[in-house]
Amino acid sequence: MSKNKIWLCLAVLLVLTAAAALKYSTDSFSELNIQTVGELSDEEHPKIALTFDDGPHPVYTPKLLDGLKERGIHATFFLIGKNIEGNEELVNRIQEEGHLIGSHTYNHVQLNKLSESKARDEVLKGCNKIYETTGTYSSFVRPPYGSWKKNLDFCITMIPVSWNVDSLDWKTQNTEKIVKRVVKDVGEGDIILMHDIFDTSVEAALQIVDTLTEEGYQFVTVDELLLE
């Protein structure tokens, strides 16, 4: 083989090598960019919490859980202690499927109208019922009517959880109105108040999840929102 042909072969080989290297570098850079953009997108999703009071309900809570599970969404359930009676399996399902459980007192009473000892007993009795059922002691409490009695002395840390967006689902019991109200008012870091004791509330909650997920919101439990 002549020297000219040898040099020509070497030149072709160098070009092919450089092209392959450039393609690998470009592909790797593209993959890195895609991954980075994806990670940034995840971090930039505004977080909100969907909460449900007054359950568990033997009919509507399972329907709600089915819809949330299908969508991969976790919520927070503030349970009335006396409603746990006879619904222990349902309460365990709530916990097993990754939702957060908190106390809504035992008898759904307005705490600021009670003496300190009775108010404390209502909260702890609700928490104890949750512990007896699930084996987990909750530190979160949703005061009925949003009325928290200040300076209550508990043997453990109790965290009262209020809300920023009231769906008024218990009042309207109209799916369309509930959805419009929440979607209009919600913003990053908000806690949405709903109830899992009405069929209209369950339907509205799932529509709200679908709509706000499409808008880029990420649903988390209240502990993730408040303690992060």
**Active-site hit among 53, 169, 190, 196:** 53
Task: State the total domains in the chain.
Answer: 2
Domain containing residue 28: 1-44
Residue 218 makes CB contacts below 8 A (sequence gap 6+) with: 45, 46, 47, 48
**Token digits for 42?**
């995840």
| Annotation says 195 is catalytic | yes
- Both 30 and 116 in one domain: the answer is no
Of the listed ranges 3-17, 46-60, 76-90, 183-197, the least confidently predicted one is 3-17
Res 157: pLDDT: 80
- Spatial distance between the Cα atoms of 71 and 67, rounded to a whole number of angstroms: 6
- Both 140 and 60 in one domain: the answer is yes
- Both 164 and 80 in one domain: the answer is yes
- Both 214 and 175 in one domain: the answer is yes
Higher pLDDT, 11 or 94: 94
**Token digits for 187?**
């913003």
Residue 71 makes CB contacts below 8 A (sequence gap 6+) with: 206, 209, 210, 213
* Residue indicated by tokens 């994806």: 38
**Active-site hit among 57, 169, 195, 196:** 195
* Residue 6: burial class (beta carbons within 10 Å; 0-12, 13-18, 19+): exposed
Using an 8 Å Cβ cutoff, are 46 and 80 in contact? no
- Both 56 and 34 in one domain: the answer is no
- Both 23 and 136 in one domain: the answer is no
- Both 127 and 176 in one domain: the answer is yes
| Annotation says 53 is catalytic | yes
Show the beta-strand stretches assigned E in the chain. 47-55, 76-79, 100-103, 140-141, 159-160, 165-166, 191-195, 218-220
pLDDT at 19 over 70: no
- Both 137 and 68 in one domain: the answer is yes
- Both 79 and 19 in one domain: the answer is no
